[in-house]
Structure 1
Amino acid sequence: MTNPNERTHFAPELHIPNGTYNIDFYLNFGATEHFCLRNDDGSIHVAELEINGAIFHLHETMRWFNALEPITAKGVTAVIGLFVPNVDEVMQQAIKAGATEISPATDHEYGYRQGMFKDPFGHFWQIQKKI
């Protein structure tokens, strides 16, 4: 099997209501927690989970780009997380193809290089790589 950092794969980011303290459902469902970053009040900011090699994230609702979790949106919502070997190259390809940059590729303290764009249909894509 190829190294997960060297192949393209999806990692959904599921929004949860702000002020969520408990994600036991996912652990009881069989997920393994890689990390969980909490806000000052103890609520969950972001957690990385894995089910049988499939990584996904739970993230508090980010209002700065009008995102909603499904309860508030009264529908299904998601940010499409795409892991790739070269974040900058994929970001440039997307923008060249007509995407709008939301945030440039940046290295983060939690060990990821990430950039985000909006495609012409309004879907948000987070292009990322573990560093």
Structure 2
Amino acid sequence: MTNPIPDGMTGLIPHLVCDPCDQAIEFYARAFGAEELSRSVHPETGKILHAAMRLGSQVLFMSDDFPEFCADGKPSSPQALGGTPVTVHRYVADCDAALATAQSAGATLVMPAEDMFWGDRYGIVVDPFGHRWSLATHIRDVTEDEMKAAMSDLSMA
């Protein structure tokens, strides 16, 4: 009997539209240490229909932008949309080093690493394909009371 959930494909799997996807695959390998698992290429255009990469113990799906295959016929890459409301989050052993590696591979730093009130050292980069990545290292445990106190000190100015 076929397993309805393929091995290694549990939980949420982000599926990123990247333009061009082949360059994104190379970037994610350099910036985040991702390993390419598979790649399916359109026989006529050479564009990537589907790719899978492993980042740590998780899988990431990717494809080129194919508006012609979308129900609404519109492009869906962050570049075509003018940005994205989605952030891909990763915990890493060294947030500062991971941000530096991503930057040296071509990501843009949008929030330098800082120690946050919730107990993480946290920063954000945007990759060359318009996807936002938050990288964090958990540096201290915070009690619920400490969290509430810190949140009450936040200013929305």
Higher helix share: 2
Quick one: higher RCO (CA 8 Å, sep 6+), 1 or 2? 1
TM-score range, shorter chain: 0.3 to 0.5
- For normalisation by structure 1, the TM-score amounts to 0.47
| Between structures 1 and 2, the one with greater strand share | 1
